[in-house]
A and B are shown apart, each in its own frame.
Chain A
Amino acid sequence: EMVMTQSPTTLSVSPGERATLSCRASQSVSSDLAWYQQKPGQAPRLLIYGASTRDTGIPAKFSGSGSGTEFTLTISSLQSEDFAVYYCQQYNNWPPTFGQGTKVQIK
C-alpha cells in the first residue's frame, strides 16, 4: 500500500500570509495526486486533482505542484475560511490512500 506522508503536521500562519504544505509518496504516483480541505464538522472538499488542476469553483489562491513523489499545495493570502485540515490523496496505485493531514491554524 502506498504511504503518503504530509508535512508539517501543523502549520501556524498569520492571516494574509501564504501557506505551503508538502506531501510525499513512498513511490512515484506520477501526477495522480489530489488535495482536499476539511473544516471541523464538515466533509472533505476536493480542491485539486492531477497534482495541479483546480476543481470546479475552487479559487485561484489554491495551487498545486509536483510530480513523482514530491507535491506541494500553496494557499496564498490566507483568510479565516482557509484555516482547516488539508489532506493529499494518491490514486495512481490501488488502493487509493490519503496522507495523515496538515492542520493550518491561525498564528
Chain B
Amino acid sequence: QVQLHESGPGLVKPSETLSLTCTVSGGSISNSFWSWIRQPAGKGLEWIGRLYSSGNTNHNPSLKGRVTMSLDTSKNQFSLRLSSVTAADTAMYYCVRDKYSAWEIFDYWGQGTQVTVSS
C-alpha cells in the first residue's frame, strides 16, 4: 500500500518561496509519476504540476513559471517549490500518485498540509 506524507512550513511570508516535501512509503518513487494538487479552504481542487520518474516535470501554466519540482530517489521523496507567493497561494497542498503514466488520474493522496501565506 503506497502512502504519502507532506511536510513543510505551515506559514510563508508574501513574496517568499513555499517549499514542501512528500515522503513516499510502500513503493519506489522511481516506478511512478507524481503530482501536486492544492485546495483553498472551502473551494475546489487545482492541479499544480507533475513529476516524471525521469525527473522531468510539467506544471499548470496558471502558475506562471513559479513552480519547481524535483525527485530525491535516495530518500524516496519528491518536492515542490512555489516562488513569489501571495495570499492566493494559501491552500491545503496534497501530494498524489498518478495511477498511470499516460494520464493524470490520482489514486493515492497524502493527508495534505495547510500552507498559509501571511506576513
Contact = CB atoms under 8 A, between A and B. Distances in A.
Interface of A: 1, 32, 34, 36, 42-46, 49, 55, 87, 89, 91, 94-101
Contacts of B46: 98
A95 B112 contact: no
Contacts of A55: 99, 107
Q: Assign chain B's interface to a size class.
A: 20 to 34
Interface of B: 43-47, 58, 60-62, 94, 99, 103-107, 109-112
Contacts of A1: 62
Contact of B44 (A43, A49, A100): A100
Given A43-B110, A49-B105, A96 B99 contact: no
A32 B109 contact: no
A46 B103 contact: no
B109 A98 contact: no
Nearest to B96: A43
